[in-house]
Amino acid sequence: MKALVTRPEEQSASLAAALRQRGIEPVMEPLIRIRLGEDGAHILSPLLPGAQAVLFTSANGVRAFAAATARRDLSAYAVGDMTAAEARRAGFAATTSAGGNAEDLAALVRERVRPADGALIHAAGSAGTGDLAGTLGGAGFEVRRAILYEALPAERFGAAALAEIQAGAIGAALFFSPRTAAAFARLAREAGLEARCAGMIGIALSPAVAVRLAGLVRIIHVARAPTMTSLLDALDRALAEPR
């Protein structure tokens, strides 16, 4: 069996290894390209004074922030476990995971952080989801949003992945974000691949991801938590079901 992995390849080494351990051949097809802002250091410079913590709503935000500044003394609050792991790899020793979505992150901050201790920096992309500044602002926090990267959807499938899909060789496809799932659905329909996709199992990190695949893939299994472990558990449940 082959599984389509839609994350950037540099973020998917452990996932690819876990698939191979299950006897599944990963087909790497990143559908979102991350472009870091060239002026990240300039953007962050006026936002850092007086800040007590940085909020990460994606691993891309961690990488963009780390590329723009050497500061690692701020406390880091991450939306989920994968983002938290990326923050720790980047050198943020004091990292806490909300283990969920942006609402869970806001709740974590309200519980653990005092507004009087300083501002919060949100390391964001140009097409960020949610409104952390509005949500936390209502609780008395100053949130400084720094747009440090851009997520660009793929314009077409790569030749290798396209050939595998056309041949009906992809048994499952794994999706980590709504934008990636939306990009896949758009490209599949533009290429006239609906019939081939109808034979796939879609594995989604969250309900927000799953909704973008509705009506396209054969069946959708949603991870019980926004972690790679839960995503793989969803894949295992799907594979255990009778065909």
The per-residue pLDDT for range 60-82, each reduced to its tens digit, is 999 999 999 999 999 999 998 88
CATH code: domain 2-31+155-240 is 3.40.50.10090
Using 50 as the pLDDT threshold, list the residues of the chain that sit under it: none
- Distance between CA 24 and CA 235 in Å, rounded? 11
pLDDT number for residue 243: 63
Does the domain at residues 34-152 carry the CATH identifier 3.40.50.10090?
yes
pTM: 0.81
State how far the alpha carbon of 201 is from the alpha carbons of 74, 85, 94, 138, 217, in Å: 41, 28, 38, 41, 6
What count of residues does the chain have? 243
Instruction: Give the domain ranges of the chain.
Output: 2-31+155-240, 34-152
Q: Would 2-31+155-240 and 34-152 be classified into the same CATH topology?
A: yes
CA atoms within 13 A on the CB side of 157: 23
| Tokens found for residue 113 | 């952080």
| Tokens found for residue 176 | 């980590």
pLDDT number for residue 9: 72
Work out the angle at residue 84's Cα, subtended by the Cα atoms of residues 32 and 20, and round it to the nearest 5 degrees.
60
- Amino acid in the structure at residue 214: A
pLDDT number for residue 130: 66
